[in-house]
Structure 1
């Protein structure tokens, strides 16, 4: 009587455990396969040899230089992290921008980083804030205060989404696109996509009103990403990439795991990214359109650009973590120049540019940071209101939560002139106009009075009494 084959027997032959194993064992035992016949049958389940890391980092372009001791520490961390990152087996090129700053442990793509992979999508290299982007609408000679007031009444900052009675209409074609992709077609995803439409989140996301230096026209600029839908897709993408990493390249860092583009999962994830891109663009549009409708004014012009995204050119995938595409080939719906915000007290730059060997077709996405939020907070002296008044003098700056967030004030960011100078030095776009600041809205420190904090404080007060 033939001895039954078990999973342990197959593992001892050098195979890794997987879902395939149960059916394989049943087939082997049912057909009494043994010896060479069994080995021949099992060959189809043999995984390729693990893909090794590059022995040396792939060369990348450094479009940044330190001009102060503080910047030197920041730049060194960014370069070291990129060196580790560029050992990832799929990568063939990379670059860092003047606004670069660390975004996690060594080997994590920095903010202001570009990583070019061949036939692979790395979810960790576009981050959870997929398709974070900026959109500009030109409202002609409308009073900036009217635009800011109308925007304040129509936008939404902070956690969560809009109440059902305050939601914007969800476009039919966008709903159909969600339903056609299995990574996006689930009840919870669709519910969040509906309620988050017309919301801007928190952190460094903003609504900015200013006037064109060239024409004097009033312009509205919004900055935010894909909110809940993007975050949920990112989570799914990272889980899929991790499954591939374990089989394909266990030595690759988890944050740099990839989904092979030519697989079914790769195709679905790529298509899902394009739907999330369209959702995010619509998210900007509904806010801008609501301002025009509430004031009954016409729109003169509009354009947008994204960062925190993956841009495809043939079999190359450009992962831009906080980098603005200059090259038109990366934006199929391009209608105007690019937007680069710096901080709330500085102009938003309107730029054009050409692709070079060192910029890879990208420009900075903003001013970046030299210090973390916590470190920046420690450097400030005086009351929150004193700091706020000093840094926003002459501007109409509002916080949606009514709580000032000093980690979003101008001093929290890199020196704007330094970023502009290095854009010129490294050929990262030519400024053709500027949106001079009038005012802006941000989420503010919404956690200060968050429900969970109030409950905690209430519990603590009861214990003390």
Structure 2
């Protein structure tokens, strides 16, 4: 009489397989079909993982498009370079660069703001971060009065945490909603609800709405800066969870923040598609604010263009992860309609640039002025002055507004690197040519919305 085949999880472990969700179905299939010997091994071949990928013994070389102008910047630059050296040992990476606005964020080995990391056949969610598709958009308002544009924009935008009230939401385009519903990672009731509520919102931090005049034409320009808000953050969280599952199997020595999703997997294809949809949502998020401002003034747009500076860009089997770096190369932007935008700080012009790809810039430019110190440290440095004094000193002649009506000292010009130094290094390292400047009239930012937050008011009453 033929012996009955009956295997269990230990059988698969003894054969060298790591426990996984597939164990249950595989064991049932093998026992049901009485697979044995080569028949069983042939069936199990589909579950065999590739060999673990080891870290590069020495870091992949990367371009350093930054230099320290003083002692404070020297500490910042050294920290950035050290973090990149660890990052560039990640197995998938084949190239990288840092920009003049680079500053560290997170633990050693985390891609810095102002960093570019090029991976082969891999998407690293941690290298684009939760603020997916942080971007800037410009609309030319012709000869409209700058104050009128800023007033109209103030009525059209929304800063601070959370989304818009249900009665104050912009219409979610039907075609965009269909794209969300057809993607496995985005077809999520909570995510779609957030996408509806956050449309026409800009968040907080360094995000802004800026109005100024073109140095070349004298026309009034409206520029917005923000990312994908809660929908992007929710996708990022899912992406990191997927990447972590792959990391445990493919490269357990890789730092968790540098985990990746192989592009040639079903998960990789779904995540890449989701990124493109979130990109379209973010572009729409800019557009509804700009269009509402135009409508309030009964003005027609003379021109419009935009670019993201926090995204993953694909070229063949290479994935360029730009954590705060502006794409110069047109191949990275399928809907390119104009030059690129690089804001510096609220008292400086927004630069309009174009440029060519080189071996050292990898097709990218800086995304702004960057920071040399944390927000907390900057506030400590200004503690000898009142917020009103710092504000008056640094925004003289400008119409600067905080949506929360509370000054955020950590977003005033002195919180950022020297704008002239960043521009000089752009020229020195071949990081784009300035073809126009939007001279500042004024801007709107979230401000210190936490100062009078409801939970703080409740605490005071107690």
Instruction: Report the TM range for the smaller structure's normalisation.
Output: over 0.9
Which residue pairs with 1:450 in the alignment?
Answer: 453
Separation in structure 2 between the aligned mates of residue 321 and residue 32 of structure 1, nearest angstrom: 52
Separation in structure 1 between the aligned mates of residue 271 and residue 41 of structure 2, nearest angstrom: 35
2:111 paired with 1:109: yes
2:423 paired with 1:412: no
2:131 paired with 1:129: yes
Deviation at 1:41, TM superposition (A): 4.5
Contact in 1 for aligned 2:5/2:35 (Cα 8 Å): no
2:381 paired with 1:382: no
Which residue pairs with 1:235 in the alignment?
Answer: 237
Deviation at 1:188, TM superposition (A): 1.2
1:431 to 434, 438, 445: 434
Matches within 5 A, 1:25-64: 25-31=27-33, 38-39=40-41, 41-64=43-66
Report how many aligned residue pairs link the two structures. Answer: 459
Deviations 1:45-96 (A, max 9, x none): 3322211111110011000001101000000010011111111111111000
Range 16-25 or range 204-213, more displaced: 16-25
Separation in structure 1 between the aligned mates of residue 246 and residue 102 of structure 2, nearest angstrom: 29
Which residue pairs with 2:154 in the alignment?
Answer: 152
Deviation at 1:4, TM superposition (A): 4.5
Separation in structure 2 between the aligned mates of residue 360 and residue 420 of structure 1, nearest angstrom: 18
Separation in structure 2 between the aligned mates of residue 372 and residue 312 of structure 1, nearest angstrom: 32
Can you give the 5+ residue segments of structure 1 that lack an aligned partner in the other structure? 460-465
Separation in structure 2 between the aligned mates of residue 40 and residue 209 of structure 1, nearest angstrom: 65
TM-score (norm 2): 0.97
Matches within 5 A, 1:383-402: 383-402=386-405
Deviations 1:123-143 (A, max 9, x none): 110010000000111111111
Deviation at 1:370, TM superposition (A): 0.4
Contact in 1 for aligned 2:152/2:296 (Cα 8 Å): yes
Which residue pairs with 2:205 in the alignment?
Answer: 203
TM-score (norm 1): 0.96
Matches within 5 A, 1:263-342: 263-342=265-344
Deviations 1:389-429 (A, max 9, x none): 11111111100000110000001000000000000000001
Which residue pairs with 1:422 in the alignment?
Answer: 425
Separation in structure 1 between the aligned mates of residue 60 and residue 460 of structure 2, nearest angstrom: 51
Deviation at 1:34, TM superposition (A): 5.5
Which residue pairs with 1:72 in the alignment?
Answer: 74
Separation in structure 2 between the aligned mates of residue 44 and residue 331 of structure 1, nearest angstrom: 37
Range 126-135 or range 39-48, more displaced: 39-48
Range 16-25 or range 236-245, more displaced: 16-25
1:352 to 351, 354, 366: 354
Look up the SS of the partner of 1:55 in the other structure: coil
2:180 paired with 1:188: no
Are residues 385 and 232 of structure 1, via their aligned partners in 2, closer, same or farther at CA, if it must alter by over 3 Å?
A: same
Deviation at 1:175, TM superposition (A): 1.1
2:251 paired with 1:249: yes
Deviations 1:360-398 (A, max 9, x none): 000000000000111111111211111111111111110
Contact in 1 for aligned 2:5/2:36 (Cα 8 Å): no
Which residue pairs with 1:98 in the alignment?
Answer: 100
Look up the SS of the partner of 1:448 in the other structure: coil
Deviation at 1:166, TM superposition (A): 1.0
Look up the SS of the partner of 1:99 in the other structure: strand
Separation in structure 2 between the aligned mates of residue 333 and residue 9 of structure 1, nearest angstrom: 53
Look up the SS of the partner of 1:365 in the other structure: coil
Q: Superposition RMSD on alpha carbons, in Å?
A: 1.4
Deviations 1:336-377 (A, max 9, x none): 111000000001001111111100000000000000111111
Contact in 1 for aligned 2:339/2:352 (Cα 8 Å): yes
Range 128-137 or range 6-15, more displaced: 6-15
